[in-house]
Amino acid sequence: MRAAPPPLAADPTPLSRYLGTALDALREGAQARGGPLPAGGPEAVTRRLREALGEALPDRGTGPDEALRTLVRALAAGAADPAHPLCAAHLHTPPLALAAAADLAASALNPSMDSWDQAPAASALEAEVTAALAAEVFPDAATPDALVTTGGTESNQLALLLARERHGTSLRTVVGANAHHSLHRAAWLLGLPEPITVPTPNGTIDPAALAETLARTQGPVLVAATAGTTDEGLIDPLPALADTCAAHGTAELHVDAAYGGPVLLSRTHRPLLDGLDRARTVTVDLHKLGWQPAAAGLLAVRDTTDLAALAHTADYLNADDDTEAGLPDLLGRSLRTTRRPDVLKTAVTLRALGRTGLGALVDTCMDLAQNLADLVEKTPGLDLRARPTLTTVLFRPTGADDQAVADIRRTLLTEGRAVLGRAEADGRLWLKATLLNPHTTPADLAQILTLVEGSTHR
């Protein structure tokens, strides 16, 4: 007799039991790890994972409870934990418990955001939330809009695609040397010329250098500025760059604000993004300074008519007569077909915390960065690269060469004691702390420096 099929996620009774198993396994795995990163380096982590996994595709399964407990525990034990205050290398945020719970609900319901009949309420929710967030980016625009994306890479690619559809393949892109690598990759994927790169010796685009570049560039141009560079968290001078684009006449502005965009929610720090609303398109990630489980990206556009270029018809999803009868057409809301209702976790977070609550989290992390910079400046034997703009702090031991800096970072990683990033600036290698955990304490910041100092003297 054929065995009964396993229960579905839409049935809350088995889901509740499985959730309890998963949460226990998460707790056990974190206890086994005992720090921000598993100790031993890649070989040791891989060996332990293989031991737990066993045969990846067995002939007979072990059963749902054992499989769930064993593999969730193994993954947690071998995870880089962004909720640990000493895990501060990347733009890798600890997600809010509330958002993770909403994400579970989205997974259980499993709407597919490519046709209305697969996602009736989810499509309506996405329309409402994206409209509100687009209005936050473009408060004075008549018809702003936003698309949900998987993050900055997809958003930047969409921005270049929309510009190409407006101007054709003669479009040139101009980026700063500080720009995210996804812009170069997007130009390649879209068959556009390699972007023209403006040097950024001080970390941001110089408007005068941009003006010189535009004067030498024929035809339509998309200038891609950055609000929150990956290495240093710097913000290009957006008002001046917008003025430069306007003076050129055929240059449009895109801003990659994947990192810095959520600073709009902070009443204190929002002026850092003055000029953002003068862009034509803006990238924002809420899985960075928005504390959402990945993925939670957006591409905001000043004018919703720009999105018409994404229109696409598949009779089984958006037949013309269905659209004429009033069924919403979702295919033009993404380059993807099947996609998750990632908007639910964001909608829950926005409703629960509001602009004020999220802005306070931004402010807390900005303050933490300033506090860490203060500690570095007060610590003999450590050098600070510069006062932080957002939540990124670069520092290094005084007199250390680049090899020593790289060794310190890898030693801390291998021992599982701290997760710090690396960045090149001023021709040197720096340790990078990216502070996105609002629960980090002054004692945690001091411990980061103590661990670095201890590794320096080995």
pLDDT in tens, 60-90: 999 999 999 999 999 999 999 999 999 999 9
Instruction: Write the CB contacts of 406 (distance below 8 Å, at least 6 apart in sequence).
Output: 422, 429
pLDDT digits (tens, 9 = 90+) for 292-306: 999 999 999 999 999
Give which of 345, 313, 353 is closest to 329, Cα–Cα: 313
Mean pLDDT calculated for residue range 211-217? 96
d(CA 66, CA 257): 43
Instruction: Write the CB contacts of 273 (distance below 8 Å, at least 6 apart in sequence).
Output: 227, 235, 238, 257, 260, 261, 263, 264
Q: What is the pLDDT of residue 2?
A: 67
d(CA 147, CA 75): 32
Q: What is the pLDDT of residue 12?
A: 78
d(CA 372, CA 240): 30
Q: What is the pLDDT of residue 458?
A: 61
Q: What is the pLDDT of residue 9?
A: 76
- pTM for the model stands at 0.96
pLDDT exceeds cutoff 90 at 455: no
pLDDT level of residue 3 (50, 70, 90 thresholds): low
- Cα four-point dihedral sign 112, 114, 117, 122: positive
Q: What is the pLDDT of residue 42?
A: 96
Mean pLDDT calculated for residue range 230-245? 98
Region at 40 (left for phi over 0; alpha for psi -120 to 50; beta for the rest): left
pLDDT level of residue 264 (50, 70, 90 thresholds): very high
Give which of 246, 279, 245 is closest to 261, Cα–Cα: 279
Which 3 state secondary structure label does DSSP give 431? strand
pLDDT digits (tens, 9 = 90+) for 113-150: 999 999 999 999 999 999 999 999 999 999 999 999 99
